[in-house]
Structure 1
Amino acid sequence: MIEKIKNNILKLKKEILALFLAYKRKETPLYAKIIIGIVVGYALSPIDLIPDFIPILGYLDDFLILPLGITLAIKLVPDYILEECRLEAENMSNSILPKNKKAGFIILMFWLMLIGYIVFKVIYD
């Protein structure tokens, strides 16, 4: 069971790398690049949309949202581009993927605005 989970995680990492490579190709359609940018940006973000310390919901993004986003992005990329990028990803290491600080900043701003809104409502209502 644990070996199966490890294999699935490794496969997800390779898919993220392949999507990252597909994003950089000019033949990839714009609509696919937008979805890939969101998915890969979120996957590489140092901050989660739902923090992991929140019981059950904290891991929802890791086990549900991210795989669904990867699946959608894969469906939008033409098959020949994705196959070429998967072959290229097999020969590369995961160290090519940078941490996405922009996505982390956007998620951090979302949480700060949400906290600010809650504090505003508590104080002024």
Structure 2
Amino acid sequence: MALSTLRRWARGLKQQALVVYFAARDPRTPWPVRLLALTVAAYALSPIDLIPDFIPVLGLLDDLVLVPLGVWLVLRWMPLDVARDARERAQVAAERPVSRGTAAVVVLVWLLAAALVTAWAWRAWNA
């Protein structure tokens, strides 16, 4: 598979993750689908993976299987009018420029959360 094809596929998956995100925020989405959509969107759009990408095979498996499967389930279970509106909002959002400052804030929040969990675990282990 060519690199340009992979980039196109990844861009399409990001677009679908945005659709899932906007559908999760729509009050017309049933709560079980909303919960799944929030989980999928948070995982897909987060800069930190459950399984780091540097781990051979498994690191990419979550991106290649879990995220598309979650997106597919959410899109399959959500009402059609919600899906249509979410696609329109995702299209508009995808055309906006990327904010590196916001990305830095997200990474800092994740690092702070990891540090707090590590400190808590350290104290609990040594108590």
TM-score in same-fold range (> 0.5): yes
1:44 aligns with 2:45: yes
Q: TM-score, normalised by structure 2?
A: 0.71
Matched AA of 1:92:
A
Query: Secondary structure at 2:9's aligned position in 1?
Result: helix
Query: How big is each residue's C-alpha offset from its partner over 1:93-115, in whole Å with a ceiling of 9 and x where there is no partner?
Result: 3648974857x958x96xx7xxx
Query: How big is each residue's C-alpha offset from its partner over 1:21-65, in whole Å with a ceiling of 9 and x where there is no partner?
Result: 111111011011010011011112232111112111111111111
Q: Count matched residues.
A: 111
Map of 1:29 onto structure 2: 30
Q: TM-score, normalised by structure 1?
A: 0.72
1:17 aligns with 2:27: no
Q: Distance in 2 between matches of 1:10 and 1:53?
A: 21
More deviation, 11-20/85-94:
85-94
- The structure whose RCO (Cα within 8 Å, separation 6+) is larger is 1
Q: Distance in 2 between matches of 1:82 and 1:4?
A: 25
**Residue segments in structure 2 that go unaligned for 5+ positions in a row:** none
| % identical equivalent positions | 31
Using the TM superposition, give the Cα deviation of residue 14 of structure 1 relative to its aligned residue in structure 2, in angstroms: 1.0
Q: Distance in 1 between matches of 2:6 and 2:90?
A: 20
Q: CA RMSD in A?
A: 3.0
Map of 1:54 onto structure 2: 55
